[in-house]
Structure 1
Amino acid sequence: MPFIPLLFVLASITLFFSRRRYKAIESAEPPVVVKGHTYSDSVDETELQPLESKKVEHVRSACIIGAGHVGALTAVVLASQNPHIQFSVVDNDAGLINAWNSDRPPVFEPGLEEMFQPRKRKLTNLTFSTNVHAGVAAADLIFLCSEIFSTITIDEKERLDLSQLESAIRAIAQVSTGHKIIVQKSTAPCGVVQRMKKILRKTASPSASFDVLSNPDFLVPGTALHDLLYPPRVIIGHIFSEDMSPGALSALKKLYIPWVPEERIITMDAWSSELGKIAANAFLAQQISSLHSLSAICESTNANINHITQTLGLPQRVGFGFGSSHLQTEVLCLVYLARELGLQQVAEYWRAVLRMNDSHNRRISQRVLSQLSGDLTEQKIAVLGFTPKENNNQYSVALGLVRDLSKNGVKVGIYDPFIPADQLENTLRASNASLETVTVADSVETACAGCSAVILHTDWETFGHEKVRWQGIAGQMQSPKVFLDPYGVFDQFKMQQWGFKMLQAWALTCIGGNIIDNISNNEPAFNQVVYYLIGAALLQVALSPPELWECRPRFYDSEAAATMSKTEEMTWVTWLMVNLCLHEISSCIRAIDFHRYATLMLTGVFSLPLCPNNEEKKSATLVLKQSILEYSQYTAHILETDPSFT
């Protein structure tokens, strides 16, 4: 038993050092967790103090994943407003990155070149790269702006492709260390923030931690840069949880504070922010489809869709349907969400919005084709402007329009001044459509040469009278020279003088060319009255004393007009007839119900000499005065909004 004393000695020594270590630990200030927050609990019962946080409170470097429309424009604006922060836009598409690093941006937005090119030369805090991992590793805050597309047609089972988004999340998890803030801006179904957190929790390194926020964009294609610079509100959504860092919200807010008033920055739960973003664009799509349904009714009645939009207080342009991938995807997200929740009627409602949009676009193309005579395979149509909105053309209205025309055998010439010809040709080839009859032109003149019809797809100034010699182009075209101007930006009278037949989007009927022939084919009986009226009006003008015309200013005052003498009334009725017949008819009866006013005034003018007694004369005079007053009030309104009316 000689080993027993030795074991006893060793045990005593071990106990001695263990006791000393225990005392040392006990005398230290161990961290403890109280209600989810870390504090230092000192032995001498001093006040609890928070430990130093490793959370991101001040962003020094930010990475934007996705060099598409939203990602690149967001980066340009953020970099210009936060010169002390380094911004890096990363994307696996080398062609897209090379385009952003070139002298010409790959997307068109009003004001982008003026803003981006100077920044590119002078601002060193914005870069574009294909090295996604390096951009993510160096960033404190990461914006997810990956494009999300639907892989469906309307009548198939909805399935949203989130592969690009999930690929970006896994790339973040793979290279991240420390703490990072991830901001979801991509179009995605509700619940994607929660899904992102689960993926990061499963795949990220234990040394990495994340705050995931939602910061939806409300950009309208074509005005996206303006929307970013002057946002009506900035929404930040987050999931309430114990591991949520208040500093993450503050860090994201600080990026917007330099140019957005703080009261416009609104925080809410992530689900509401995600659904709110979808709803905003879905409501816009719904409004567009609703107007298109009304325009279809206007085609079959005497109603004017421009008057209806004026009544509703909406912009008076009803042209093509929406083709933005954002609007299309947002509505599909609602269809998908409603179906997953078992709300079939809701899903059908939003699916109908998409069907109406497609129906309207097909109706326009068919009406253009209906104006052409002979073999359609011998006809050619020019489409001016392909897309002012997206670098992605999957849902481009122009692409759908070209497909419809091409299916009917028509040759189509496309010209877009802001998209290089090779890029446009690649887009057409990638559309998986049979477009052998489609060619890309390098000028308006080349696109329109030999065409029977022209479709103005975008209302750019590049196509206006000042930039293009339409009179010369008309001489190079074939009959019937149909011109579709859905935006109403062209001077219809000039275009008709040059031989074009103007096709209005709201009525989809041709006006122009031989005006008398067009009118006579529609309302022969009324035309006879018009002919007599023109002759009588011109005769009255020749016989009227010049001093009577000096009362013209009184005409625009309804009270003064009510006190006119009979001679003045007759003079002004004549002036109205001349104005209506020579001006309104020649300019395509724009924005006025010609039949109503002309009929009322004709009744008054020609019935006065035939009235057998004073009572009937008074009645006819009242009709005449009422028509004058209504027309004067309407004309006064037109003069305020359109001085060229005079």
Structure 2
Amino acid sequence: MSLRLSVIGTGYLGAVHAAAMAELGHTVVALDVDETKIAELAAGRAPFYEPGLPELLTSALASGRLTFTTDYALASDADVHFVCVGTPQRPGENAADMRYVDSSFEELARHLQGPTLVVGKSTVPVGTASRLEQMLRSKAPGGDQVSLAWNPEFLREGFAVKDTLHPDRLVYGVHPGERGARAKALLDQVYAATIADGTPVVVTDYATAELVKVSANSFLATKISFINAMSEVCEAAGADVVALAEAIGHDDRIGAKFLGAGIGFGGGCLPKDIRAFMARAGELGADQALTFLREVDAINMRRRSRMVDLAREQCDDSFIGKRVAVLGAAFKPDSDDVRDSPALSVAAQVRLQGAHVTVHDPQAIANARRRWPDLDYADSALEAMQGAHVVLHLTEWQEYRDLDPAVAGQVVATRRIIDGRNKLDVHRWTDAGWTLRALGRPTAVAHQA
């Protein structure tokens, strides 16, 4: 059954969700206060890089089921309203900044008409849904006819379209009793095609639903920092963290995913989510439960410093007068997102210590320039490597793995590369005369003819 949906917020989450819901057959009005962003999306242009989204936008717009607007009134008669605005880290604090969520709910409340369901998808501190439900019921005209559900998102950048159309689970946080039953029934209609494909549905209370996303991200962050802690031990012991990860990953209680040692995680979710989780736990008096996340965060940040130290060692212990090539600016491949990017953090630290740094990325250069205008940028990997005394591989784009080490060796000043993601073929590079370092692995020295 086709429903009328509104999507409030057309950032990364909202734009993908709106286009995907239209693809599933619903009529969708997507709303944002940013007129430029709305104009771009209405023309079928995604304001960020996400594989598959341009095609999804084009299809949804052509069907007539998707429209974009800045006017809340045009979204007022929707059966279901999805709130998809961001919750960045509050400046100078660990806690989440709730201004955008609160203002979106308050503005939406003024325009609600008749029986309707409001669904929060943003990642929020536990306790937010109960507070917002009270606000909706007090401020919305006919507030007793308004229901609230919390339906957290689990998008992976680079796979957001797939994760929205074919999620591995759906979580509904609903009010107990009849009101919650009505909310679940409406969400089941929204996701009817997805549920028919066999996607499991977990129905729970507000607080549990709010905790699912931050708990999942905290677990993933812990797993990444665990293998990076083992990387530190491997370096001290002369062991190989890649072989170690392979060995323990065969244990099905552990699994191989997220055991890739390197310079750690970044982006707009994991770092700010674990910090906000710690902050909220402190407010609830449960701060001792999450003290381990402080070390998870510390290990992650330490990896960046270690990469800088390795780069300095490869430059004969001084960056002064040296040229450093950085391959990667996005925090992960298949994305142009540079928020809390480990690659750019390392690049900036190396530059501050005196090196001439040139960065390349297949998709994220424009965003990187805006955030780090003092760095130099190149249009190709080989251009970035021109005259470099050391090359840093910091975002695992496939094109960097496919580089010809022999060709690359012709443009650098010194054939030295540090693999910050442990993804390069060691033998290909050493056979071409390169010395390769990697976090948590013994040095691979150029083969002698």
Settle same-fold status: TM greater than 0.5.
Answer: yes
- From 82, 85, 89, the equivalent of 1:143 is 82
Which position in structure 1 is the counterpart of 2:105?
Answer: 169
Which position in structure 2 is the counterpart of 1:72?
Answer: 15
Q: CA deviation at 1:201?
A: 3.0
* Separation in 2, partners of 1:407, 1:345: 37
The aligned runs of 1:275-424 (5 Å cut-off) are 275-313=211-249, 314-315=256-257, 317-373=260-316, 375-387=318-330, 388=333, 393-419=338-364, 421-424=365-368
- From 436, 439, 443, the equivalent of 1:510 is 443
The aligned runs of 1:541-620 (5 Å cut-off) are none
SS at 2:15 equivalent: helix
* Separation in 1, partners of 2:339, 2:68: 24
* Separation in 2, partners of 1:272, 1:471: 54
* Separation in 2, partners of 1:347, 1:490: 35
SS at 1:325 equivalent: coil
1:105 and 2:43 correspond: no
* Separation in 2, partners of 1:385, 1:105: 21
The aligned runs of 1:176-325 (5 Å cut-off) are 176-206=112-142, 209-240=145-176, 244=179, 246-261=181-196, 264-313=200-249, 314-315=256-257, 317-325=260-268
* Separation in 2, partners of 1:257, 1:207: 27
Which position in structure 2 is the counterpart of 1:615?
Answer: none
Contact preservation (8 Å) 1:69, 1:107: yes
- CA distance 1:255–1:359, change in 2 (3 Å): same
Mark the runs of 5 or more structure 2 residues left unpaired by the alignment.
250-255
Q: CA deviation at 1:259?
A: 2.7
Q: CA deviation at 1:426?
A: 1.7
- CA distance 1:165–1:502, change in 2 (3 Å): same
Which deviations, in whole Å up to 9, do the C-alpha atoms of 1:25-57 show, x marking residues without a partner?
A: xxxxxxxxxxxxxxxxxxxxxxxxxxxxxxxxx
1:459 and 2:396 correspond: yes
* Separation in 2, partners of 1:275, 1:210: 23
Q: CA deviation at 1:502?
A: 1.5
Contact preservation (8 Å) 1:106, 1:391: no
Query: Number of residue pairs matched?
Result: 439
Amino acid at match of 1:91: D
Q: CA deviation at 1:454?
A: 1.9
Which position in structure 1 is the counterpart of 2:408?
Answer: 473
- From 32, 35, 38, the equivalent of 1:91 is 32
SS at 2:173 equivalent: strand
The aligned runs of 1:618-633 (5 Å cut-off) are none
Q: CA deviation at 1:96?
A: 3.4
Which deviations, in whole Å up to 9, do the C-alpha atoms of 1:134-193 show, x marking residues without a partner?
A: 34324221111111011256xxx5432100100101110122222221111101111111
Contact preservation (8 Å) 2:19, 2:60: no
Greater shift in the superposed pair: 394-403 or 115-124: 115-124
Which position in structure 1 is the counterpart of 2:253?
Answer: none
Amino acid at match of 1:453: V
Which position in structure 2 is the counterpart of 1:483?
Answer: 417
SS at 2:292 equivalent: helix
- CA distance 1:229–1:205, change in 2 (3 Å): closer
Root-mean-square deviation (Å): 2.6
* Separation in 1, partners of 2:325, 2:319: 14
SS at 1:186 equivalent: coil
Q: CA deviation at 1:475?
A: 1.7
Q: CA deviation at 1:323?
A: 0.3
Identical pairs, percent: 24
Contact preservation (8 Å) 1:324, 1:389: no
* Separation in 1, partners of 2:76, 2:214: 31
1:127 and 2:61 correspond: no
Contact preservation (8 Å) 1:151, 1:161: yes
TM-score normalised by structure 1 residue count: 0.63
Amino acid at match of 2:65: N
Q: CA deviation at 1:207?
A: 6.8
- CA distance 1:181–1:59, change in 2 (3 Å): farther
Q: Which has the larger radius of gyration?
A: 1
* Separation in 1, partners of 2:43, 2:368: 18
* Separation in 2, partners of 1:446, 1:197: 55
SS at 1:160 equivalent: coil
Q: CA deviation at 1:350?
A: 1.7
Which deviations, in whole Å up to 9, do the C-alpha atoms of 1:540-579 show, x marking residues without a partner?
A: xxxxxxxxxxxxxxxxxxxxxxxxxxxxxxxxxxxxxxxx
SS at 1:484 equivalent: strand
Contact preservation (8 Å) 1:324, 1:390: no
Q: CA deviation at 1:99?
A: 4.2
Amino acid at match of 2:443: C
Which deviations, in whole Å up to 9, do the C-alpha atoms of 1:579-615 show, x marking residues without a partner?
A: xxxxxxx9xxxxxxxxxxxxxxxxxxxxxxxxxxxxx
SS at 1:249 equivalent: helix
* Separation in 2, partners of 1:322, 1:175: 40
* Separation in 1, partners of 2:423, 2:205: 44
Amino acid at match of 1:424: A
Structure number with higher helix proportion: 1
- CA distance 1:185–1:212, change in 2 (3 Å): same
TM-score normalised by structure 2 residue count: 0.89
SS at 1:367 equivalent: helix
Contact preservation (8 Å) 2:167, 2:199: no
Which position in structure 2 is the counterpart of 1:599?
Answer: none
Mark the runs of 5 or more structure 1 residues left unpaired by the alignment.
1-57, 430-435, 517-585, 587-646
Amino acid at match of 1:510: T
